[in-house]
A = this chain, B = another copy of it.
Amino acid sequence: MSLDIFFNPKTIAIVGVSRNPNKIGHIIFKNLIYAGFKEALYIVNPNAEEILDMKSYRAVTEIKEKVDLAIIAVPAESVIKVVEQCGKKQIKQVVIVSSGFSEIGNAKLEEDLKKALQKHKISAIGPNCLGIYDAYTKINTMFLPSFKMNTPKKGFTALVSQSGAVGSALLDLASKKGHGISKFISYGNAADIDESDILEYLALDENTKVISIYIEGLKNGKKFMQTAKRVSKIKPIIALKGGITEASKQATISHTGSLAGTPEIYKKAFKQAGIIEVFSLEDLFIHARVLERSIVPQGNRTMVITVSGGYGILVLDELYRNNIPLAEFSKESVNLLKKQLPGIATIANPLDLTGGAANETYKLAIETALNDKNIDIVIVVLLYQIPLLTQEIVKIISDLNAMAKKPILVVATGGDLTEKIKDQLEKNNVVCLEFPEQAADAVKYLAEYSKIKTSK
């Protein structure tokens, strides 16, 4: 099913726009004006003639022009009536942000809603959701005031979240960190469009290179796993499963059609479906970005180039915990490095260039690692505090990265100047991590995806 019109509607009706600026319909209305949709908007409120200088309609059926998408923000008990009116008006896409359905026990109301949607062949996201955001078209159905949160720039990670707040907080953080996003989808109760439909759609979305998902419980586990198995061959899916305590497990099991069970069952199912599982929101945030930007390695033999013994050891420790093999330089590389870097005591892994390293030392070491057939992934510890490094290092690493056929992962910890260097590297598509362990974890996930991609 294509969800294209959801993300690129020519005309939008918002149903339930209150005069009260704190009400969700009003917030969505303002956000869409702010996002540049003023000319495309129709607002519906049976009790108002005009809101913020815009004509208000009594019902969608009163709008004369064609409407591509309706955003429904009325109380739960009025949603079905609005859906019926959308049906009459031939609106085929609706986002239902209203809550008050199965999530508070109103299963009957949700069933009736489903029937109404099916009757009129309407595709729906929701109810009980934040809806969607698209960084390219700027469509935004989130009822969070735009002066309170920023939306990220264009990028290639799709964020799918059962929890609206988890999604919107990550979007706001992404904007701050300069991370890009393709699409955001908070699908709530999934009365119609569910996780599998979304995966299916994002698999072919050309702006999406990686799909990151926060899931609490699945509506239809089998369908999801089958879909994920296909989609994960096309692009990486990285997922965080929330709800591993007894209490939340109970809640999941009681959902009809949910994939019930322990974290272990999810772990196994995710693995079979080719989904990369992470165990914290921070890891979901960081490693979706890594998967978006990195090329897929051919294997997992990792070389660590460092200028600090401590950082080398800390990366090695985490690689060890992650069961990642250390690469060894070939004889040719060893000879080359010995000749070109006479000041380095031992050519080993980690390769410690020492605090006396200059731009050219890094260049030689990284180049040698990239050319070495015994190495699949290169971690570069870049501590910009050391004396001889200059701004030029950005161009050196960016150029090497642009030509590289294996992933380069830069670790850089520091203050303003380090942040500046990292920003420039990131603009040139170099993957940068803040802490040594994060780079070693990135290796784990990249190697995992390499296996998924090549498995049958």
Contact = CB atoms under 8 A, between A and B. Distances in A.
B311 A165 contact: yes
A308 interface: yes
A165 B308 contact: yes
Given A149-B385, A150-B416, A386-B144, A247 B173 contact: no
Contacts of A307: 165
A148 B435 contact: no
Contacts of A248: 313, 316-317
A352 to B, nearest CB: 10
A405 B165 CA distance: 30
B161 A247 contact: no
Interface in A178-226: 214, 216
A316 B247 contact: yes
A411 B174 CA distance: 17
A148 B385 contact: yes
A175 interface: yes
A437 B282 contact: yes
A148 B414 CA distance: 10
A148 B318 contact: no
B436 A281 contact: yes
Interface string A97-122: 00000001000000000000000000
A165 B418 CA distance: 14
A234 interface: no
A149 B386 CA distance: 9
Q: Which of A143, A170, A280 has the most CB of B within 10 A?
A: A280
Interface string A277-318: 000111001000000000000000000000111110110111
Given A214-B310, A387-B27, A436-B281, A414 B166 contact: no
A173 B415 contact: yes
A136 interface: no
B166 A311 contact: yes
B172 A414 contact: yes
A355 interface: yes
A22 B389 CA distance: 11
Q: Which of A164, A242, A282, A308 has the most CB of B within 10 A?
A: A242
A413 B27 contact: no
Contact of A310 (B150, B161, B172, B321): B161
Contact of A242 (B22, B143, B216, B317): B317
A384 B308 contact: no
A419 interface: yes
A9 interface: no
3 nearest A-B residue pairs (beta carbon): A163-B310, A165-B308, A166-B310
